[in-house]
């Protein structure tokens, strides 16, 4: 089954390999497509840190996001990330124009150095990274990223957060750019 074409929907995938295969099968690989990948819990994971960890820490810290982010930073500073599926991602990179791939993370821009270090550790290099902390990913994609890619008429967006998928769908609802979204759930 190919991706859902309705702009308000998405295709749930549990493995990056499966998402890449669907992208290839649906012929979404062309020069006019921008591929946008989230980073944390989509391209890479850290042992012990997942959605349950975030929920638990938010409860423990009375919903104080700053405290949770501080603890998360300590955790990721001491752990090397793991790629969710290096071989399929590398195969994907071989089949697309690498200039049409970006990462869009909810991290703060001040984390650029550690983000690039961790991406490099999982073998992801020379791909632009955009930071959306405090803003909707749809807004960042539409207002900051897309203007750098004037020939794009398709977007493939892969993220582990349904709110981010929704914001991308909403941002491009009445636009001439077709958006295909994948909801990625990493199987730890």
DSSP per-residue letters across 25-52 = HTT--STTEEEEE--BTTTEEBTTBSHH
Place of tokens 């909801």: 183
Does residue 1 belong to any structural domain of this protein? no
Q: Which of 53, 44, 37, 72 is nearest to 158 (CA)?
A: 37
Does residue 22 belong to any structural domain of this protein? yes
Judge if 132 and 67 occupy the same domain.
Answer: no
Number of structural domains the chain divides into: 2
Res 14: pLDDT:
53
DSSP per-residue letters across 119-160 = HHHTT--S--EEE-TTS-HHHHIIIIIGGG-TT--EEEEEES
Place of tokens 């958006």: 179
Does residue 18 belong to any structural domain of this protein? yes
Judge if 56 and 121 occupy the same domain.
Answer: no
Q: Do 37 and 104 contact (CB within 8 A), yes or no? A: yes
Place of tokens 């074409």: 5
Cα angle value 83/86/92 (rounded, 5°): 130
Does residue 6 belong to any structural domain of this protein? no
Does residue 4 belong to any structural domain of this protein? no
Tell me the residue range of the domain where 127 lies.
11-46+84-184
Judge if 170 and 128 occupy the same domain.
Answer: yes
Task: Spell out the per-residue pLDDT of the chain, length 188, in tens.
Answer: 223 334 445 555 555 556 666 665 555 567 789 999 999 999 999 988 887 888 888 888 888 888 888 888 888 888 899 998 888 888 888 878 888 999 999 999 999 999 999 999 999 999 999 999 989 999 999 999 999 999 999 999 999 899 999 999 999 988 899 898 888 877 64
Judge if 180 and 100 occupy the same domain.
Answer: yes
Q: In angstroms, rounded to a whole number, what is the distance separating the alpha carbons of residues 137 and 79?
A: 26
pTM: 0.85
Q: In angstroms, rounded to a whole number, what is the distance separating the alpha carbons of residues 188 and 139?
A: 30
Res 118: pLDDT:
95
Judge if 60 and 125 occupy the same domain.
Answer: no
CATH number for the domain that contains residue 175: 3.40.50.1000
Judge if 70 and 117 occupy the same domain.
Answer: no
Judge if 53 and 129 occupy the same domain.
Answer: no
Judge if 52 and 93 occupy the same domain.
Answer: no
CA–CA distance from 152 to each of 40, 178, 179 (Å)?
25, 9, 11
Judge if 29 and 61 occupy the same domain.
Answer: no
């Amino acid at each position: 089954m190919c991706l859902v074409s309705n702009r308000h929907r998405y295709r749930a995938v549990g493995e990056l390999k499966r998402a890449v295969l669907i992208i290839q099968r649906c012929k979404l690989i062309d020069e006019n497509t921008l591929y946008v990948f989230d980073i944390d819990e989509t391209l890479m994971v850290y042992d012990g840190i997942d959605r349950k960890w975030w929920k638990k820490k938010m409860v423990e810290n009375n919903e104080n996001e700053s405290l949770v982010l501080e603890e998360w930073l300590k955790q990721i500073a001491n752990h090397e990330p793991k790629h969710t599926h290096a071989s399929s991602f590398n195969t994907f990179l071989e089949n697309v124009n690498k200039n049409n791939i970006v990462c869009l993370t909810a991290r703060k821009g001040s984390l650029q150095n550690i983000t690039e270090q961790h991406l490099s550790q999982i073998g992801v290099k020379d791909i632009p990274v955009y930071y959306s902390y405090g803003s909707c990913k749809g807004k960042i994609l539409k207002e900051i990223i897309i203007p750098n890619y004037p020939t794009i008429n398709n977007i493939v967006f892969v993220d582990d957060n349904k709110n981010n998928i929704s914001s991308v769908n909403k941002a491009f609802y009445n636009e001439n750019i077709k958006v295909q979204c994948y909801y990625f759930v990493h199987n730890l």
